[in-house]
Amino acid sequence: MEMQTHRSMYRFFCSILLLAIGFWARAQEGSNDTVAVARPDAKQIRVGIDISRPVLNQVFRNRRSYEFSLDYSLPKDIYLVAEGGFGGSDVAYEDLRYTSNNSFFRAGIDKSMLQRLFPSDWDYLFVGLRYGVGLVERSDAVYTTVDPVWGSTSGSIEGKKVSAHWAELTAGLRVELLKGFFAGYTVRAKFLITQSVFRELPPAYVAGYGKGEKTTSFDFNFYLQYALRW
């Protein structure tokens, strides 16, 4: 079942990439008939919050996450992106209990695949790259083992702090609903670089990445954003 879920997420992510490439190809085909209007002096910085996280926090009570975004427009429809947040998870089995908390930061770029047709057009379909770093703190873990001969044994494993690093491929869409107000989504495929840090008692969930026991992770964000222009 888990393998089927990963395959479904992988196919979904590939579909988004193919859709972005299709839009880009279509825009290139029409470039001979329509000339895009440039904005040589326009600049934009945009801040946002992922509104899907509070909902997911209620659905999955053993984990929590809050995420924010910031991006800055560059020429040729490229955006510098910074994202961050915090959260944690709880492991509460009968024979094992511990908690983890972490903050994270991601940085990268997005490239629009749609051709702009007029100066006030800030909508875009994009693909991008990210590099993520998470600072994770795990509490002491309390465990109990049951043996039919020797009986029950209890103990604890000392907590520790680690830093996790991962890379991401992203794709998504942003639409300006009202002047300066945007809504849109980002889908992500994540690849854990520092796999060794979670070999012992991995967190049930690392905010910004996903399940600590997985070397690959797929995720989805839905943002509301506000833009400042000058």
Give the pTM: 0.81
Cα(63)–Cα(89) distance, integer angstroms: 4
The verdict on residue 195 lying in a domain is yes
Cα(152)–Cα(107) distance, integer angstroms: 48
Domain coverage including residue 119: 2-33+43-83+109-129+159-202+214-229
Per-residue pLDDT of the chain (230 residues; tens, 9 = 90+): 444 544 554 555 555 555 545 544 444 454 444 444 445 568 899 999 999 999 999 999 999 999 999 999 999 899 999 999 999 999 998 889 999 999 999 999 999 998 777 778 899 999 999 999 999 999 999 999 887 777 778 888 899 999 999 999 999 999 999 999 999 999 999 999 999 999 888 999 999 999 999 999 999 999 999 999 98
183 closest CA partner among 191, 194, 175: 175
The verdict on residue 177 lying in a domain is yes
The verdict on residue 11 lying in a domain is yes
Main-chain phi, psi angles of 197, to 5 degrees: -70, -20
Main-chain phi, psi angles of 27, to 5 degrees: -65, -35
Query: How many structural domains does the chain have?
Result: 1
The verdict on residue 52 lying in a domain is yes
The verdict on residue 152 lying in a domain is no
DSSP 148: T
